[in-house]
Amino acid sequence: MHDYLIVGSGLYGAVCARLLTDAGHLVRVVERRSHIGGNVYTEEQEGIVVHSYGAHIFHCSNQEIWDFVNRFASFRPFVNRPVSISGGKLYSLPFNMFTFNQLWGVTSPDEARAIIEKERLVLDREPGNLEEQALSMVGKTIYDLLIRGYTKKQWQKDPKELPPWIIRRLPLRFTYDNNYFNDTYQGIPDGGYTKLIRGLLDGIQVETSVDFLTNRSELQAKARRVIYTGALDEFFGYDLGVLEYRGLRFEHDWFQSENVLGNAVINYGDEEVPYTRRIEHRHFSPTQSPVSIVSREYPANWRPGDIPFYPVNSPENEGLHRKYCERIAEYENYYIGGRLADYRYYDMHQVVGAAMKFVRSLAVR
């Protein structure tokens, strides 16, 4: 009999498992996939650490969280400086003075502000969709060239159909600073995220290729409490409806070259280019490999059974998720957490922080 059964070995489940084990609890982790780590899983190929489900860069300004993850892996400094190709030209991201110079030839913040202010959409109300939000932030030129096509590809919807919050966190800087994140600490685990997850789960009973939902009665009977990190609609057999996600698929190319793209991440803003970005994995971690692996990331329609990536947090989906939360709350000794159970897009440091907060809350229950 275990004190806790944790369903899912992604970052949230792994952090909970580590903290509960350190507190003296007996923990068992079951994972549906054949590997640990969920979507942060990495694997080494040709001496290169490959981010199997898309690029992940750990960034935060919280000393406690940073110190915690560094207990289990050594992080190499990495600053994300993506670029975007649109209309055959390359532009710096996030939008900064390099971008404004590439667009308009301006060299001062005042010149850039003046152009953007002239182009901005002025509303007497809050923006009602992503297009209005973007136009009110950056104006027509940047929206048409660098946002509209990319967003339409990624979400497979017209930006007018998407909620405004999706674009609100996009940085806009009037400095020559192309560091995508403002956080104090930024890096990638030396050896990849799988090494971090292995460190978190060290000494804990972990079983992969185990589907909790098809073995629920047997598994939960052997644990006093269950922490479920999967999708709630799937837990209940989708009987109230299916929560919507955006999917992704990846195609990987091998090159007999030590440098193909010249950058870790390149976005593609043109609608006619079917993928949203290319990732050259060797730029994330130093390697002596004579080859390079480049992944193309394609948006995909998601269906139950596929790997979910981005929740579509429409009012309808939010309402449906609340109903599922109300139902799971009636289950005795069941807890939920993580990006799937919470139906939220989380950065990795937010996942770690949420797991820490949850485990601390157990001590006062």
Report the half-sphere exposure of 308 (CA within 13 A, side-chain side).
24
Q: Which of 173, 278, 282, 339 is catalytic?
A: 173
- Set 297, 324, 335, 339: catalytic member: 297
Find the catalytic residue in 18, 277, 278, 339: 277
For this structure, is 277 an active site residue? Answer: yes
Given the residues 120, 246, 327, 344, select the one marked as catalytic: 246
Please confirm, yes or no, whether 173 is among the known catalytic residues.
yes
Question: What is the layout of strands, in order, in the sheet containing 75-77?
Answer: 58-60, 185-189, 75-77
Rounded Cα gap, residues 72 and 350, in angstroms: 17
The residue to which tokens 């730029």 are assigned: 283
CB 106 within 8 A of CB 100: yes
Alpha-carbon distance 343 to 233, whole Å? 10
Nearest to 334 by CA among 214, 212, 225, 213: 225
Catalytically annotated residue among 71, 303, 322, 345: 345
Q: Is 335 a catalytic residue?
A: no
Pick the closest to residue 5 from 206, 229, 223 (CA basis). Answer: 223
Is-catalytic flag, 306?
A: no
Catalytic-residue membership of 169: yes
- Of the residues 110, 124, 126, 169, only one is catalytic, namely 169
Active-site residue, 224 included: no
Does 318 participate in catalysis according to the annotation?
no
- End-to-end alpha-carbon separation of the chain, Å? 21
Query: Which residues are known catalytic residues?
Result: 169, 173, 246, 277, 297, 345, 347
